[in-house]
C-alpha cells in the first residue's frame, strides 16, 4: 500500500504524537512507581517503629534502638516531606531511647541525634518543633544528673532555650496555618 504525499507529510507529526504519548505514559508509570515506593518506605518505617514498641514492652532497649536506627537508614527521596518528617520523628525517638540509658554518654549520644535531625530539617514543622522539645528533655536530665549547682543551672537554661525554639516554631506555624498576623514576641 502506497502512502499519499499528504499522509507522508503528516508522519513526522504522527511520530511526534506517538513519542509524546509514550513519554507521558512512561512518566506516569515512573510517577506511579515512585508513589508506590514512597508508600512502601513509610510502611516499612511504621513497622520498624511498631517493632521497637514491642521490644520496649519486653524490656529490650538495645533492640528498640536498633529498630529506630533502621528507620533512619531508609533512603527517602530528598524532596519528600513525608520522608523528612518520618526521619525527624525517628531522630527524636532515638534521642529519647538513648537518653533512657542514663548518664553523660547517653545524653551526648541523644544530643547527636537532635543535631542530626536539625541538619536534616528543611522547613519548620511539628516534627522540627518536637526535636527541640526532646532537646529540652535531654538538658533537663543533664541538670538533674549534675552535682554542681552552676552547671545544673546552665543545663536548665539550655532546656529553656530549646523550649523557646519549639514554641517559636509552633507559633510561627500556627500563624501561617491560620493566616494570623505576626504577633510580638512574648517573654
What are the tens digits of pLDDT across the range 143-181? 999 999 999 999 999 999 999 999 999 999 999 999 877
Nearest alpha carbon to residue 163 among 185, 145, 143, 137? 137
- The range of the structural domain enclosing residue 114 comes to 33-177
Closest among 90, 89, 80 to 35, alpha carbons compared: 80
CA distance 65 to 56: 9
Q: What whole-number distance in Å separates Cα of residue 106 and Cα of residue 63? A: 16
168 part of a folded domain: yes
Q: What is the mean pLDDT of residues 6-30?
A: 52
Q: What is the pLDDT of residue 176?
A: 92
Looking at the domain assignment, is residue 28 inside a domain?
A: no
C-alpha cell at 47: 513497622
CATH number reported for the structural domain that contains residue 92 in this entry = 1.25.40.10
Nearest Cα to 68, choosing from 123, 113, 111, 115?
Answer: 113
Q: What is the pTM of this model?
A: 0.80
pLDDT classification of 10: cutoffs 50, 70, 90: low
Percent of all residues in the chain with a pLDDT value above 90, rounded to a whole number: 74
Residue 37 domain-assigned? yes
What is the model's pLDDT at position 180?
A: 75
In-domain check, residue 96: yes
DSSP symbol at 142: H
What is the per-residue pLDDT for 129? 98
Number of domains, the chain: 1
Residue 11 inside a domain? The answer is: no
Would residue 127 count as lying in a domain? yes
Backbone angles phi, psi at 62, to 5 degrees: -60, -40
Per-residue pLDDT band at 57 (split at 50, 70, 90)? very high
Q: Is residue 147 part of a domain?
A: yes
The residue to which cell 516534627 is assigned: 127
Question: What's the rounded Cα separation, in Å, for the pair 81 and 121?
Answer: 10
133 inside domain: yes
Task: Give the count of beta carbons closer than 10 Å to the beta carbon of residue 95.
Answer: 27
Name the burial class of residue 124, with classes exposed (0-12), middle (13-18) and buried (19+) by CB atoms within 10 angstroms of its CB: middle
pLDDT above 70 for 95: yes
Amino acid at each position: 500500500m502506497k502512502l499519499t504525499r499528504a499522509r507522508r507529510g503528516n508522519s513526522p507529526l504522527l511520530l511526534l504524537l506517538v513519542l509524546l504519548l509514550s513519554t507521558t505514559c512512561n512518566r506516569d508509570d515512573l510517577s506511579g512507581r515512585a508513589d508506590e515506593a514512597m508508600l512502601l518506605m513509610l510502611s516499612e518505617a511504621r513497622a520498624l517503629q511498631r517493632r521497637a514498641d514491642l521490644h520496649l514492652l519486653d524490656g529490650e532497649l538495645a533492640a528498640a534502638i536498633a529498630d529506630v536506627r533502621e528507620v533512619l537508614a531508609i533512603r527517602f527521596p530528598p524532596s519528600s516531606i513525608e520522608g523528612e518528617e518520618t526521619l525527624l520523628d525517628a531522630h527524636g525517638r532515638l534521642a529519647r531511647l538513648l537518653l533512657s540509658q542514663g548518664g553523660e554518654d547517653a545524653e551526648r549520644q541523644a544530643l547527636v541525634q537532635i543535631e542530626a535531625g536539625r541538619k536534616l530539617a528543611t522547613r519548620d514543622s511539628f516534627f522540627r518543633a518536637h526535636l527541640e522539645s526532646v532537646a529540652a528533655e535531654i538538658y533537663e536530665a543533664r541538670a538533674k544528673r549534675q552535682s554542681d549547682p552552676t552547671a545544673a543551672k546552665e543545663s536548665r537554661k539550655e532546656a529553656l532555650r530549646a523550649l523557646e525554639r519549639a514554641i517559636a516554631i509552633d507559633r510561627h506555624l500556627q500563624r501561617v496555618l491560620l493566616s494570623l498576623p505576626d504577633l510580638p514576641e512574648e517573654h
